[in-house]
């Protein structure tokens, strides 16, 4: 049987270690590293995720502030809020939950976040830093994928990896991280020809398409490691809701190991967000004088 890589257990361990580091920071600086989470609109899934992020902040001793706006919030209002959060010395991390309502240009909003507070790692500066391997804040889901993968497969050099999906928040950054670790990476999208054959060659499959059950057992090479990022809402025969990944989990017994959904990448995404909030707070405290916003306004 394939081994189950538990995101729940790994995230708990990560958070236990984080709690000590957060306490050290808070003692040294007289304030807790603090996350500002911005929720626009009334998407039920987004609400649940933001609530979960705030709850987990509390667990490790991070401060958190939730900013809610209605679905009719204007782009200007949101940009004004981000400007305030950028300047607020008590805020170390800013997360704008995606997706945003259609009247708001997401790219404009992400560009407005101070890169040092960009705990999602979505700002072009952090994207550029990731692609050049020069530091910066790393996106949470891709970081969580790498931690789970490396817990099973510590040596990634020379491995072949197929990434299904090329989004800015999962596919592209995870591909860059794999490349950085020495994998040979194939990044796929909906136009990819013969995806099953590409997968069959792979030592590692990262599935991030958002298609329930896309990856079948016969796409998986014996001994491969599978990271399932997909979150797909389904209604079971009993009428109850639930989530499944992009991989047909019942068919991959011949894999070496896999991450389940739920309980895999999801909990790691949140743990990595908390880690990034601490990292951002440390970096801001280490270099306060080079921040234009502090010098000019506070």
Ligand X SMILES: NC(=O)C1=CN([C@@H]2O[C@H](COP(=O)(O)OP(=O)(O)OC[C@H]3O[C@@H](n4cnc5c(N)ncnc54)[C@H](OP(=O)(O)O)[C@@H]3O)[C@@H](O)[C@H]2O)C=CC1
Ligand Y SMILES: Nc1nc(=O)c2c([nH]1)NC[C@@H]1CN(c3ccc(C(=O)N[C@@H](CCC(=O)O)C(=O)O)cc3)C=[N+]21
Instruction: Tell me whether residue 165 is annotated as binding.
Output: yes
Whether residue 56 lies in the annotated active site: no
Residue from 56, 97, 117, 118 carrying the catalytic annotation: 97
x/- string (CB under 5 A) for Mg ion, residues 139-158? Answer: -xx-----------------
Name the one range near Mg ion by CB under 5 A: 29-37, 134-142, 215-223, 288-296: 134-142
d(CA 298, CA 292): 10
* Dihedral pair phi/psi, residue 51, rounded to 5°: -60, -45
Asked if 120 is an active-site residue, the reply is yes
Nearest-10 Cα torsion for 160, 165, 168, 169:
-90
**How many whole angstroms separate alpha carbon 202 and alpha carbon 228?**
14
> Binding site annotation covers 266?
no
Q: Is 232 helix (H, G, I), strand (E, B) or coil?
A: strand
Task: Note whether 208 binds ligand Y by CB under 6 A.
Answer: no
The single residue of 114, 120, 203, 246 carrying the catalytic annotation is: 120
Question: Is 53 part of the annotated catalytic residue set?
Answer: yes
Q: Answer yes or no whether residue 270 interacts with ligand Y by CB under 6 A.
A: yes
Contact 294, 117 (CB under 8 A): no
Task: Report how far Cα 170 is from the mean position of its chain's Cα atoms.
Answer: 7
Tokens of 227: 């990271």
Looking at the DSSP bridge assignments, the partners of residue 215 are 247
To the question of whether residue 167 is assigned a binding role by annotation, the answer is yes
Contacting residues toward ligand X, per CB under 6 A: 141, 164-167, 169-171, 188-192, 195, 208-211, 214, 229-232, 265-266, 269
- 59 annotated among ligand-binding-site residues: no
| From 70-78, 116-124, 206-214, 284-292, span contacting Mg ion (CB under 5 A) | 116-124
């Amino acid at each position: 049987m394939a081994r189950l890589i538990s995101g729940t257990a790994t995230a708990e361990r990560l958070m236990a270690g984080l709690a000590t580091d957060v306490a050290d920071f808070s003692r040294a600086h007289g304030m807790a590293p603090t996350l500002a989470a911005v929720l626009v609109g009334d998407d039920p899934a987004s609400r649940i995720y933001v609530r979960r992020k705030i709850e987990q902040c509390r667990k490790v001793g991070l401060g958190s502030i939730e900013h809610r706006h209605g679905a009719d919030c204007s782009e200007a209002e949101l940009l004004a809020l981000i400007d305030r959060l950028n300047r607020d010395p008590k805020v170390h991390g800013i997360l704008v939950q995606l997706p945003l309502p259609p009247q708001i240009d997401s790219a404009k909003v992400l560009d407005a976040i101070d890169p040092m507070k960009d705990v999602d790692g979505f700002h072009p500066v952090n994207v550029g830093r990731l692609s050049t391997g020069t530091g910066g804040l790393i996106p949470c889901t891709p970081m969580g994928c790498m931690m789970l993968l490396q817990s099973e497969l510590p040596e990634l050099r020379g491995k072949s990896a197929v990434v299904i999906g090329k989004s800015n928040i999962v596919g592209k950054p995870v591909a860059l991280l794999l490349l950085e670790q020495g994998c040979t990476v194939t990044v796929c999208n909906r136009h990819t020809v013969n995806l099953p054959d590409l997968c069959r060659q792979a030592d590692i499959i990262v599935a991030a398409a958002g298609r329930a059950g896309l990856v079948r057992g016969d796409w998986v090479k014996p001994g491969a490691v599978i990271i399932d990022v997909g979150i797909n809402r389904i209604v079971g025969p009993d009428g109850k809701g639930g989530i499944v990944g992009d991989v047909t989990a019942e068919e991959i017994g011949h894999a070496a190991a896999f991450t389940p959904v739920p309980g895999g990448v999801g909990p790691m995404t949140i743990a990595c967000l908390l880690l990034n909030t601490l990292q951002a707070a440390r970096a801001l405290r280490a270099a306060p004088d080079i921040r234009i916003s502090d010098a000019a306004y506070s």
